[in-house]
Amino acid sequence: MKKSTKKLAAMLICAALAGVSLAGCSNGEPETKAPETTAAATTAAETTAATAAAETKAEVKTDSGANMADANVKKKDPSKHYKFGYTCMDGTNPFFVTIEKTMREMVEAQGDELISVDPANDVTLQITQVEDLISQNIDAMFMNPAEAEGILPALDQLKEAKVPIVGFDTEVADMSYLVSYTGSDNYNAGFVCGEDLVKKCPDGGDIIVLDSPTMNSVTDRTNGFLDAIKGHNFNIVAQQDAKGNLEVAMGIAEDLLQAHGDVVAIFGGNDPTALGALAAANAAGIKECKIYGVDGSPDIKAEMASGESLIEGSGAQSPVKIAQSAVNIMYSYLNGETVDNRYPVETFLITSENVKDYGTDGWQ
């Protein structure tokens, strides 16, 4: 089949999100990133380091014991009208669509206003959009950066304008700009995917990693995944930036699978990336590959529930709870209350074995 024909097939499959038969590596019971690299099987010493890293991350997760998602904070002065700014890295991502919708409903229920902008993963545009929000005299800002470092000029401008910032889902490079941050335990979301792969492929094998190094959330997930598989005979035959985007991931995976059609697994930094890899794998006729994502989106859960998909699992998070937590933090701060530096939101693994517990019609 010519490459152009294959790409058309991949796009059609992507649009339909249709799967082929599920096959595993085994039925056994039981790091500086380069654009493309082959890694030797890791050592027992690395396994020890991975365990230490996981323990350290577990400590970070417990920075705050408060559950702000269910706090139901009301503003102190009902007559006060707040105008909030909102920006996320990619407003077309279903994860962020849900966050924005939830925030808007909560803010408007208190008689306030949410002005949303979408930079489409372009940090330069995001900075310009933040400047425009400041000119509209916003009272506070909900921030999810397209680039952790690149967004700093916008944070400087918000600070100069005395606009308080609550970060969500993805950290900025200098957290001192934020009054607080809430987001998923992204390291754990990747780590549980890696643990599942080790359990299901005890002999190891070649794998592809589709990450996004400019996004701190995806970097944390990737690090968790890689730490979990260290010392278990996995070879990273390719690691490339899919920018967290389905179509980009599909194109990259299509090319990589031509050279590495026998990989046992693909890890995607989010669910759109995993679905792009799935479309490419289906078009290439791949029968035995475990694909992992992070989000626990309705689309990825539907794939797992079908019982006929290469999607093996997703490190699940809840955009609804992230949004609720961010809004409750913001109102607490505006009420003059003391808020913690960070409020983590739980992550966990969803697979075909437990997807029925979470449903496929919406987010958990």
160-190 residue pLDDT tens: 999 999 999 999 999 999 999 999 999 999 9
Q: Same structural domain for residues 245 and 329?
A: no
CA pair distance 335, 330, nearest whole angstrom: 9
Strand partners, 343: 182
Residue 29 lies in a domain: no
CA pair distance 155, 144, nearest whole angstrom: 11
The confidence score (pLDDT) of residue 65 equals 54
SS (H, E, C) 84-102: EEEECCCCCCHHHHHHHHH
Q: Same structural domain for residues 214 and 162?
A: no
Residue 236 lies in a domain: yes
Q: Same structural domain for residues 213 and 298?
A: yes
- For residue 240, give its domain range: 186-318+351-357
Which of 39, 47, 45 minimizes the C-alpha distance to 235?
A: 39
Look up residue 260 and give its DSSP letter.
-
Q: Same structural domain for residues 127 and 276?
A: no
CATH of the domain at 211: 3.40.50.2300
Tell me how many degrees the CA angle 326-320-88 measures, rounded to the nearest 5: 60
Structure tokens of 71? 């706090």
Q: Same structural domain for residues 325 and 282?
A: no
Residue 145 lies in a domain: yes
Domain count, the chain: 2
Q: Same structural domain for residues 308 and 260?
A: yes
Distance between alpha carbon 64 and the CA centroid of its chain, in Å? 21
Which of 39, 20, 21, 22 minimizes the C-alpha distance to 31?
A: 39
Q: Same structural domain for residues 255 and 142?
A: no
The confidence score (pLDDT) of residue 25 equals 53
Q: Same structural domain for residues 190 and 313?
A: yes
Q: Same structural domain for residues 175 and 95?
A: yes
Residue 16 lies in a domain: no
CA pair distance 256, 15, nearest whole angstrom: 20
Residue 57 lies in a domain: no
First to last CA, the chain: 40
Please give the sequence-ordered ranges of beta strands (E in DSSP) within 27-123, or none if there are none: 83-87, 113-117
Residue 157 lies in a domain: yes
Residue 273 lies in a domain: yes
Q: Same structural domain for residues 190 and 314?
A: yes
The answer to whether the CB of 103 falls within 8 A of the CB of 158 is no
Residue 43 lies in a domain: no
Q: Same structural domain for residues 270 and 239?
A: yes
Quote the radius of gyration of the chain (alpha carbons, Å): 21
At which residue do the structure tokens 């330069």 appear? 124
Q: Same structural domain for residues 258 and 199?
A: yes
CA pair distance 20, 283, nearest whole angstrom: 10
The confidence score (pLDDT) of residue 37 equals 38
Which stretches of the chain score pLDDT less than 70? 1-65
Look up residue 41 and give its DSSP letter.
P
Distance between alpha carbon 9 and the CA centroid of its chain, in Å? 27
